[in-house]
Chain A
């Protein structure tokens, strides 16, 4: 990292960034976003009694055990103890979904079980219930390394995710790579630019004063460069996640994380 464009206002960044990118997985010194946080925020994440993300996990546990839908089964009714049945699941999502012939993210997978197995009304994207269930399921993988599935059927979607990651977008004409590969560790206004690894979602973001999904985070980054953000649930966001997870392979799941 060089300091070619230190502390520039976002508007000036467009003119100054050279924009290079490293291939996925090749990143040396791969670091979670938590590494770039203040000691106070790291402490908040590390202590389950002060991490507000734990509220979502606790809500998720309650929902896991609650019977729902026409079928009247709870998640636990079919899957039993989440600590056993859901252990490691979040480390290998997005995964290939046979039914749609496309990758599906963890929240989407949970939504499918709710729709087809419980025969209950769908949970909207970003609804507190879906966030809570996703946080609870992902929390069962905390501390485990991200291990994307080596599934041939995912390759073309992951490749598309990489293209999206490297494509310049928005009025500021920046790609994800311009910031997260070429400029990580440097400052953008008051925030340090992390490498952009999706290790801790859903997570509590202080700026949101709430727990939110990776898609919410990605939309924030797109809006930040004044691009039109993909809608929640858009295939492009799942493809981006697929690429980001491959890029983050080996880092450990932190859910529920805390971020500024």
Chain B
């Protein structure tokens, strides 16, 4: 199950610079830790984040083991058209978690 917190305005004026913030619930297990009995805990991180606006990529990032649990990314974009801002986080497990939010640009 995807548990994400997205903070982006619901409306914006055309040409306005808006801030988008996205946080995903994820342990970001580094692979460097050991659990009970000294057994290594396998690495399990989100390694790729992509944000699209009406299907067009506007921001992406590669993530690494030193990034804390519940990766939080904040970035800005210029409001162009009304539509859907979509978020995708891909993990070491090969799975992609998604979330989206609607925006009206006037």
Q: Which residue of B lies closest to A204 (CB)?
A: B70
A232 within 8 A of B: no
A50-B21, A52-B23, A206-B68 known; A59 vs B5 contact (CB < 8 Å): no
Q: Please give the distance in Å from A188's CB to the nearest CB on chain B.
A: 23
Total number of A residues with any Cβ neighbor in B under 8 Å? 11
**Chain B residues whose C-beta falls within 8 Å of the C-beta of A55 in the assembled complex:** 3, 5, 25, 70
User: Mostly helix, strand, loop or mixed at chain A's interface?
Assistant: loop
Task: Assess the B21–A52 pair: CB atoms within 8 A.
Answer: no
Q: Which residue of B lies closest to A209 (CB)?
A: B69
B7 within 8 A of A: yes
Task: Assess the B25–A49 pair: CB atoms within 8 A.
Answer: no
Q: Please give the distance in Å from B20's CB to the nearest CB on chain A.
A: 11
Task: Assess the A52–B25 pair: CB atoms within 8 A.
Answer: yes
Q: Which residue of A lies closest to B24 (CB)?
A: A55
Q: Please give the distance in Å from A63's CB to the nearest CB on chain B.
A: 12
B59 within 8 A of A: no
| Complexed CA–CA distance, A92 and B25 (Å) | 30
Task: Assess the A50–B3 pair: CB atoms within 8 A.
Answer: no
A210 within 8 A of B: yes
**Chain B residues whose C-beta falls within 8 Å of the C-beta of A59 in the assembled complex:** 3
B residues engaging A (CB < 8 A)? 3, 5-7, 21, 23, 25, 27-28, 68-70, 72
A residues engaging B (CB < 8 A)? 48-50, 52, 54-55, 58-59, 206, 209-210
A-B residue pairs, 3 tightest by C-beta: A209-B69, A49-B7, A55-B25
Q: A49-B5, A49-B23, A55-B25 are in contact. List 6 more A-B contacts (CB 8 A).
A: A49-B7, A49-B21, A50-B7, A209-B27, A209-B69, A210-B69
